[in-house]
């Protein structure tokens, strides 16, 4: 994979110095960090699904493959841009249950309920991945 240490090589918009931002790393279905994903002990907050994610495509279909030309190219829906909406959705769920929570409480709850995983140990503020079940308890 790449050496995408966001602490030493900031990437934007995730690296803007605003506490309100939740910076999200992309994980695969085995809790491994996506080879393309940024990480950073101090600048990336949490991980969420971002490799081979099912998404909507035309004709009311859901799929995890963007292009599949056998023997030439297979491209899947990957990216931190696929991971971040999982965290946004979790924030919305939390706010629906806690309508008076401010952004600090929402961010704190998301990070405190993260499930620790090896791939993000020392590579994210929370050391873990999004856990909506714990968040909504």
Alpha-helical runs (H) found in 56-101 = 80-97
Query: Tens digits of per-residue pLDDT, 52-89?
Result: 887 877 777 777 777 788 888 877 788 898 999 999 99
- The pLDDT mean for the chain works out to 92
The pTM of this model reads 0.89
How many angstroms separate the CA atoms of 54 and 37, rounded?
18
75 has which bridge partners?
67
Q: Does the pLDDT of residue 131 top 80, yes or no?
A: yes
Task: Give Dmax (Cα) for the chain.
Answer: 54
- Give the mean pLDDT of 98-109: 98
How far, in Å, CA of 34 to CA of 49, rounded? 9
């Amino acid at each position: 994979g790449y050496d995408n240490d966001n602490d030493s090589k900031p990437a934007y918009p995730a690296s803007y110095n605003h506490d309100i931002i939740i910076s999200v790393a992309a994980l695969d279905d085995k809790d491994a960090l996506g080879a393309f994903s940024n990480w950073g002990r101090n600048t990336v907050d949490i991980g969420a699904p971002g490799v081979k994610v099912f998404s909507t495509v035309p004709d009311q279909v859901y799929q995890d493959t963007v292009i599949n030309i056998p023997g030439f190219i297979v491209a899947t829906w990957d990216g931190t841009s696929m991971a971040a909406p999982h965290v946004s959705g979790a924030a919305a769920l939390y706010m629906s249950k806690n309508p008076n929570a401010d952004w600090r409480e929402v961010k704190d709850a998301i990070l405190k309920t993260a499930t620790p995983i090896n791939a993000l140990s020392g590579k994210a503020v929370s050391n873990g991945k999004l856990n909506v079940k714990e968040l909504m308890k």
